[in-house]
């Protein structure tokens, strides 16, 4: 095991000056950089010493998932925010929340008591101001 690691290390050290020499040999940077969009099945053109070729796939083919396996976006679901959804839930459940006046659940009686107290207070103010009082049904 130690021998194989030494061999790998020796090869890596020996190869590094060779790659540095290849870089120095080119000397000048390429004169031109060309971006090419290749269609499926086409081969990317080779780069030369004077030109670097960068190949890209068309936008429709940029995914690795095959087209047959891609899921279509759901169109039946309405795009509404979570805050709007919660507002609708609160509106639907408002009649059973504390402070409501409904026969549903035990929270309804607190709202009915509050409503009765507010009606009594309004009636008392009206009598004090000399206004006629009309009983609510």
- Number of Cβ within 10 Å of residue 44's Cβ equals 11
Q: Give burial (CB, 10 Å; 0-12/13-18/19+) of 109.
A: middle
Can you give the pLDDT at residue 90?
83
The highest-confidence range among 35-39, 67-71, 89-93, 132-136, by mean pLDDT, is: 35-39
pLDDT at 120 over 60: yes
- Residue 27: which pLDDT band, with cuts at 50, 70 and 90? confident
Torsion of CA 77, 79, 83, 86, to 10 degrees: -20
pLDDT of 128:
92
Residue-wise pLDDT tens digits, 40-90: 788 989 988 889 999 988 877 766 777 778 777 665 556 678 888 888 888
- Cα angle: 78, vertex 80, 82; to 5 degrees: 130
pTM > 0.85: yes or no: no
Q: What percent of the chain has pLDDT over 90?
A: 9
The Cβ-side half-sphere exposure at 55, using a 13 Å CA radius, reads: 11
Pairing of the two strands 51-56 and 32-37: parallel
Whether the Cβ atoms of residue 73 and residue 91 lie closer than 8 Å to each other:
no
Helix (H) or strand (E) holding 33: strand 32-37
Query: Could you give the CA distance from residue 61 to residue 55 in angstroms, rounded to a whole number?
Result: 13
Residue given tokens 């960068």 in the structure block: 54
Residue 53 has what pLDDT? 92
Mean pLDDT over 86-114 rounds to: 76
């Amino acid at each position: 095991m130690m021998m194989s690691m030494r061999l790998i290390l020796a090869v890596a050290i020996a190869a590094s000056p060779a790659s540095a020499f290849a870089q120095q040999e080119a000397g000048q940077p390429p004169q031109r950089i060309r971006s090419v969009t290749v269609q499926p099945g086409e081969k990317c053109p080779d780069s030369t010493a004077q030109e670097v070729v960068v190949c890209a796939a068309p936008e429709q083919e940029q995914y690795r998932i095959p087209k047959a396996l891609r899921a279509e976006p759901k169109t039946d679901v309405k795009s509404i925010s979570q805050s709007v959804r919660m507002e609708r839930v609160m509106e639907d459940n408002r009649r059973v929340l504390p402070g409501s006046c409904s026969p549903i659940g035990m929270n309804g009686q607190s709202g009915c008591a509050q409503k009765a107290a507010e009606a009594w207070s309004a009636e008392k103010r009206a009598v004090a101001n000399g206004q006629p009082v009309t009983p609510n049904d």
